[in-house]
Amino acid sequence: MIINILAGGPEELLPELTDYAEENTVWVGVDRGVFHLLNREIMPEIAFGDFDSVSPEELEFIEKHVSNMQRYKPEKNETDMELALNWALAQEPTMIRMFGATGGRLDHLFANMHLLLNPLKEKNPATVYLIDRHNIAFLKGPGSYTIEKMKTKKYISFVPLTLDVSGITLEGFKFPLKNRHISLGSTLCISNELISDYGTFSFSEGILIVIRSHD
């Protein structure tokens, strides 16, 4: 099972959502993201939020079409996206994709980026992807990974999320590395590219944000 979560970020940054509507996909709406889904004739299985970013008319429209709504007061300890992600992780999916979670307020962007840590902290095997029209971001812990070339997003960046990332090795890349150490704030691994259909990256300590993007 794949779970797609749509939040209420700027619509102009959304990719074509129908490209992500595979069989056995569950859609989840978050706050204004529920309205965006319904406008695209995509029915969310469940909705989360305090719904402070929709008008009374839009909320009435949402309530008319979505039977499973988890409503919260604005004063709470978790963001609406975190509540939705926690629910999604509990369903034990193979993959979670978060849309509408970039652009606009920087505090929301950083909060959503840090939510990618949750499955790693809980040792949940599901990978969570943060996706918009120009970027795909996900986190990896120590290990060795294969990565495939994408024509639409040729740039690949590796950004340390922890103070240090040790032993990073990049093979099959335009700018290869061998057993290097990078620290938080380093730009050494920004805007790399694959030179063949597949490449590998590996490291022994730390956590990396992997970002695939295009101009």
| CATH number assigned to the domain comprising residue 154 | 3.40.50.10240
> Does the reported pTM lie above 0.85?
yes
C-alpha distances out from residue 26 to 21, 82, 91, 163, 193, Å: 9, 17, 10, 36, 32
Within 10 angstroms of residue 183's Cβ, the number of other Cβ atoms is 13
Residue found by looking up tokens 């009374």 in the block: 56
177 with 121, same domain: the answer is: no
Quick one: average pLDDT of 20-29? 92
pLDDT at 103: 84
Q: What is the pLDDT of residues 169-183, one digit of tens each?
A: 999 999 999 999 999
Q: Which two tokens mark 204?
A: 């022994």
- 125 and 151 part of one domain: no
pLDDT single digits (tens) 85-132 = 999 999 999 999 999 999 878 988 999 999 999 988 888 889 999 999
Last residue of a domain, one of 133, 160, 183: 133
Q: Of the residues 81, 116, 133, which one is the last residue of a structural domain?
A: 133
* Tens of pLDDT, residues 66-91: 989 998 887 788 899 999 999 999 99
**Shared-domain flag, residues 8 and 113:** yes
Tally of domains within the chain = 2
Alpha-carbon distance 13 to 135, whole Å?
Answer: 10
The pLDDT value recorded for residue 71 is 85
In the 3-class helix/strand/coil scheme, how is the chain assigned residue by residue? CEEEEECCCCHHHCCCHHHHCCCCEEEEEECHHHHHHHHCCCCCCEEEECCCCCCHHHHHHHHHHCCCEEECCCCCCCCHHHHHHHHHHHCCCCEEEEECCCCCCHHHHHHHHHHCCHHHHCCCCCEEEEECCCEEEEEECCEEEEEECCCCCCEEEEEECCCEEEEEEEECECCCEEEEEEECCCCCCCCEEECCCEEEEEECECCEEEEEECC
Is the domain of 121 the same as that of 153? Answer: no
pLDDT of 153 strictly over 90: yes
Average pLDDT over residues 13-40: 93
Same domain, 164 and 127: no
Domain interval for residue 202: 140-213
Instruction: Give residue 95's pLDDT.
Output: 95
